[in-house]
A and B are shown apart, each in its own frame.
Chain A
């Protein structure tokens, strides 16, 4: 009964319970200002005991195709962020004190600027007569201005810029957690750097990758100002349609139905990302 292992288990469980207790205020707050309003919103979608709003949202090709388009954009943003963020995170995790401070500063600086301001800054940079196109033309590299703005490219650039830190930070955190002896041991046993990265660093950083992907994907789906301004009307996100229903038409039940569909789709993709990264980790082990 009182084996040391058992005792340790009891202590661990007790400590867990204590920690849970500490989380109660936060959970209550979340419940009151997040979960409850969300539930109320969702219940609005079936107000009057009718599924008509869901029927309209699901059977009308318009809303489904906008939802799919939004997911496509969100996945693209996620992919680009991942490709850009991983090397940055890797560099940060190995940088010296000065490098780390500078890197973090550059990474977090945009956080302190409002999304709207940043979006307008992109308008100035990416326009037909914007800074980038004018410079390239002055250098004689291009003749006609590049279509950087008011299309999908503009939306992707703007969204990636806003969301990049959300990808870098979780990956960076998970890279820091890797025991530095592991890659060292691999090297000592003669593994080339790329193999040690592929077999050790990458798999062990997958939790961070997964968290970053999930964060960026979920935030992308809700994006609203950036695609509206940088897309020039050529990119429609489902969040814009929801806003329209809420503010312009006051059709809250229909907005709630659209939100419910969006939430379900988000949860599904979220689960898929988790499963994929878990699968990848198992496969490499």
Chain B
């Protein structure tokens, strides 16, 4: 789209002007910038905010004596508007799903300063120029464990598609992300040959499962709730939601086979006042001991390889980053989705509107 190019051009020009017009921040000249009395960390809210506080905010506050104020929700549009206004309220923000690459490309973020944020032990997926990977999560297959007893549940998407062997109402997300991948995997494409996605083939395969999808879910709470209410017996969902149910002993299980791994992205909005302390905050988030606290509560484990070792043994199989689970899953290709997301979404909406 020619328009997008224009907008990006304008953004870059704006950024250049800003950089030229402002004095260099103090830390670029070698000194530690003065401590503010607080920084603002924006994240998804809900129970997540509570556990971010227990795991990271409390530690940061103790170490640096700077209060962490948390806000929510994660909103890409707001991030863009803030950066364009030149005075972002957030010191650090979580960035939703597949938006990390786009935020980088649109020049909305400060680069990660690896002299402060130590990523030396991180795997490659966790080393990005402007994005800090806070944790990994996965879209996995959830099932009623009283309907599919003793491991008789479907494993992988070909079996999810097999309505004769595994009868019952199902639910998928009302969104092309993950579903196109799952359809192709169900059709026999190997995990390492998924990208670039063959959309025609994926939608043909989706046609098959469509009559058996009772609900196309739109919020993360839905699949868990529908499984508990027995509205459906099989559903895709974010592993953290199923983890919560497992801890509550609900008759709902989940399986990581061919799960779609994603990383949660964090960034420092470009031009924010206390960027240096934002970097310090991200450094706090790299601590495997703190990551383990967070993972124990929500199952969203950080990428530091030592994190798993700090988590209780019985919970390790429920973490998407446990070595045995990592093997079974694939990493969602965010750059494919950044490039093709809008096209795929349009096609998805069109497909959803076809009657029958």
Residues of A within 8 A of B (CB): 47-48, 50, 52, 62, 65-66, 69, 123-124, 127-130, 149-150, 228-229, 232-234, 236, 241, 244, 246-253
Contact: B230 with A129, CB < 8 Å?
yes
- Given A50-B3, A251-B342, answer yes or no on A129-B229 (Cβ-Cβ < 8 Å): yes
Contact: B76 with A250, CB < 8 Å?
yes
Residues of A within 8 A of B345 (CB): 244, 248-249
Question: In whole angstroms, how far apart are the Cα atoms of A44 and B139 in the complex?
Answer: 36
Whether B148 is near chain A, meaning CB under 8 Å from some CB there, is no
Whether B219 is near chain A, meaning CB under 8 Å from some CB there, is yes
Contact: A62 with B352, CB < 8 Å?
no
* Closest chain A CB from B5 CB (angstroms): 11
- With CB as the reference atom, state the residue of chain A lying closest to B99: A248
Residues of B within 8 A of A233 (CB): 174, 215-218, 352
Question: In whole angstroms, how far apart are the Cα atoms of A21 and B203 in the complex?
Answer: 61
Contact: A248 with B229, CB < 8 Å?
no
Residues of A within 8 A of B327 (CB): none
Select one of B6, B76, B80, B214 contacting A232, CB under 8 A: B214
List, sorted by A's number, 23 A–B pairs whose CB atoms are closer than 8 Å: A48-B3, A48-B6, A62-B349, A62-B353, A65-B353, A66-B353, A124-B229, A128-B169, A128-B229, A232-B214, A232-B217, A233-B217, A233-B218, A233-B352, A234-B216, A244-B345, A246-B77, A247-B75, A248-B341, A248-B345, A250-B77, A250-B80, A253-B3
Question: In whole angstroms, how far apart are the Cα atoms of A228 and B217 in the complex?
Answer: 8
Over the window 215-235 of chain B, the binary record of Cβ atoms lying under 8 Å from chain A Cβ atoms (1 yes, 0 no) is 111110010010001110000
Residues of A within 8 A of B346 (CB): 62
Residues of B within 8 A of A232 (CB): 214-217
Question: In whole angstroms, how far apart are the Cα atoms of A135 and B77 in the complex?
Answer: 45
Question: In whole angstroms, how far apart are the Cα atoms of A252 and B341 in the complex?
Answer: 16
Whether B248 is near chain A, meaning CB under 8 Å from some CB there, is no
- With CB as the reference atom, state the residue of chain B lying closest to A145: B231
Residues of A within 8 A of B352 (CB): 233-234, 236
Question: In whole angstroms, how far apart are the Cα atoms of A127 and B3 in the complex?
Answer: 45
Task: Output the residue of A149, A241, A250 with the most chain B CB within 10 A.
Answer: A250
Question: In whole angstroms, how far apart are the Cα atoms of A130 and B225 in the complex?
Answer: 12
Contact: B350 with A62, CB < 8 Å?
yes
Residues of B within 8 A of A234 (CB): 216, 352
* Closest chain B CB from A109 CB (angstroms): 25
Residues of B within 8 A of A247 (CB): 75-77
Contact: B218 with A228, CB < 8 Å?
yes
Over the window 1-32 of chain B, the binary record of Cβ atoms lying under 8 Å from chain A Cβ atoms (1 yes, 0 no) is 00100100000000000000000000000000
Contact: A127 with B216, CB < 8 Å?
no
Residues of A within 8 A of B76 (CB): 247-248, 250
Apart from A241-B349, A246-B77, 5 more pairs, CB < 8 Å: A62-B350, A66-B353, A232-B217, A248-B341, A249-B342
Over the window 322-356 of chain B, the binary record of Cβ atoms lying under 8 Å from chain A Cβ atoms (1 yes, 0 no) is 00000000000000000001100110011011000
Contact: B218 with A127, CB < 8 Å?
no
- With CB as the reference atom, state the residue of chain A lying closest to B232: A128
Residues of A within 8 A of B6 (CB): 48
Residues of A within 8 A of B102 (CB): 250
Residues of B within 8 A of A129 (CB): 229-231
* The 5 nearest A-B residue pairs measured at CB: A233-B216, A233-B174, A232-B215, A228-B218, A249-B342
**B44-76 residues at the A interface, CB under 8 angstroms:** 75-76
Question: In whole angstroms, how far apart are the Cα atoms of A246 and B341 in the complex?
Answer: 14
- Given A232-B215, A232-B216, answer yes or no on A66-B77 (Cβ-Cβ < 8 Å): no
Residues of B within 8 A of A128 (CB): 169, 229-231
Question: In whole angstroms, how far apart are the Cα atoms of A250 and B11 in the complex?
Answer: 14
Question: In whole angstroms, how far apart are the Cα atoms of A229 and B226 in the complex?
Answer: 12
- With CB as the reference atom, state the residue of chain B lying closest to A228: B218
Residues of A within 8 A of B215 (CB): 150, 232-233
Residues of A within 8 A of B3 (CB): 47-48, 50, 52, 253
